[in-house]
Amino acid sequence: MRQLARRLLLVSLPIGLALPAMTMAKEVELPKTMAWTAYGTNSSGYAQAVAIGGMLQDQYGTAVRVLPGDNDVSRMTPLKTGRVDLCACGIASYYGAEGVLMFAHPDWGPQPLRVLTTSTASFGLALAVAGDLDVETPADLKGKRIAYIRGDDALNKGTEAYLAFGGLTWDDVERVDFPGYARSFDGIIAGEADASFTTTVTPPAQQLASSPRGISWPTLDPNDEAAWQRMQAVAPYFRPHQVTSGAGDVSSDNPVDSASYPYPIIVANADLEDNSAYGLIKALQENYDAYKDNAPGAAGYALENQDLTWVIPFHDAVVDYYKEIGVWTEEMQAHQDELVERQNLLLHTWDKFTAGDVPQEEDAFREAWMKARATALSDAGFAPIFE
């Protein structure tokens, strides 16, 4: 049985254990202009895209135009239509590659996405819990009032994954619905809820930390294999992460064993020109010092922060670069091949499904697609996930 999410992170390997490097390094060849989408102008993802664009302009004369998007669909639609080259996206890029949640829709379906690079910085993605409660691990959340954000699949899936780590489901807690993410933190401060999913460094988390209730972050034991299996069965993109930046007293001197996944995730369509993909990853690695301090979280693009066996396949030209520098292993290649095979299966299944007599009503369409998707994946030996 194939497993989608192998628990492997990039480690330093002797060159002899890596696949043979390319015989000659290629030069960086980038187009004169590139267009990206990113989160809103006040986000760290937008700031990072601008910082990278500044480096590309200074070093290679490439002008980068960054288009802010208010939500996942507005960020990914220009990529789908070819209006932009890249998207500095969030975890919705994984949902898009899988054709689930907001992408299990007649206008979308699975997308042929490829990763160029990702940023994993010092913050984590976790459940912020009111500090006046005795919550030390996710298991302690049983019976607590947990925020559910209407219309935000990514946040709710993150919450579900944390509950699963503790052996819990939504049935084991009191779900409290909120119309938006910021409103959920107002609710915690007002005593209407006890926890909400967030990044550890966001202003709402800082606001909660400064309130009379205070803030705490549940600890996730990195060695509890069964708990991690439960969490990754819900959301396979989570990885163990020692958080050193966060609201409250989280710091390098007082880290928290928690979880994270990359943000931003810089993705392109699989047909992005090889020169652009190769040029970008090489430019980012060889000029790291030129941009790493120019935006919050930009240090997360360092080579040691790249998870080379994550959940979305890399662009072929990016793989070529990692082979060239001697860090790409046979195991990484096997994982890459498996992800590409999975994605091709999803694309074929979508084409076959939509060519048939499909329901016109959106909920019925989604239900029928998810059933067809799960059957195709299971028959091929893949874990369906999100079924």
Burial 269-308 (b: 16+ CB within 10 A, else e): bbebeeebbbbbbbbbbebeebbbeebbbbbbbeeebbbb
Q: pLDDT class for 23, splitting at 50, 70, 90?
A: very low
Per-residue model confidence (pLDDT) at position 151: 82
Higher pLDDT, 18 or 272: 272
Is there a cis peptide before residue 110, judged by omega within 30 degrees of 0? no
Which pLDDT score is estimated for 280? Answer: 98
Give the number of C-alpha atoms closer than 13 A to the C-alpha of residue 173, restricted to the C-beta side.
Answer: 27
pLDDT at site 153: 87
Percent share of the chain, pLDDT over 90:
86
State the Cα–Cα distance between residues 197 and 77, nearest whole angstrom.
26
- Model confidence at 26, pLDDT cuts 50, 70, 90, reads confident
Backbone angles phi, psi at 209, to 5 degrees: -60, -35
The mean pLDDT value of the chain amounts to: 92
Query: Which residues 6+ apart lie within 8 Å of 247 measured at CB?
Result: 128, 200, 201, 202, 205, 206, 208, 209, 215
CA–CA gap between residue 198 and residue 211 (Å, rounded): 17
Q: Which residues contact 297 (CB under 8 A, 6 or more apart)?
A: 44, 45, 48, 119, 121, 123, 263
Confidence (pLDDT) at 24: 57
Q: How confident is the model at residue 170 (pLDDT cuts 50, 70, 90)?
A: very high
pLDDT at residue number 360: 94
Q: How many CA atoms lie within 13 A of 93 on its CB side?
A: 32
pLDDT of residue 386: 86
Sign for the CA dihedral angle at 269, 386, 155, 137 comes to negative
Give the pLDDT confidence score for residue 326 in this predicted structure: 97
Distance CA 14, CA 71 (A): 42
Query: How far is residue 43's CA from residue 348's CA, in Å, rounded to a whole number?
Result: 36
Residue 45 and residue 16 in contact, taking contact as beta carbons nearer than 8 Å: no
| Helix residue ranges, H only, 166-202 | 181-189
Question: Which domains does the chain possess?
Answer: 26-120+262-344 (3.40.190.10), 125-260 (3.40.190.10)
Average pLDDT estimate for 79-106: 95
Distance CA 198, CA 178 (A): 14
**HSE-CB for 159 with a 13 A CA cutoff:** 32
Q: Output the CA–CA distances (angstroms, integers) from residue 44 to 3, 178, 266, in the order listed.
A: 32, 24, 13
- Up-side HSE of residue 202: CA atoms within 13 Å toward CB? 18
CA pseudo-torsion sign 91, 312, 234, 242? negative
pLDDT greater than 50 at residue 2: no
Rounded Cα distance between 68 and 139, Å, is 38
CA distance 108 to 77: 9
* pLDDT per position as a tens digit, 208-242: 999 999 999 999 999 999 999 999 999 999 999 99
pLDDT level of residue 55 (50, 70, 90 thresholds)? very high
Q: Give the residue from 89, 112, 72 showing the smallest Cα distance to 313.
A: 112
Instruction: Report which residue type is found at 201.
Output: V
pLDDT of residue 11: 36
87 has pLDDT over 90: yes
Q: Give the Cα separation of 184 and 316 in Å (integer).
A: 41
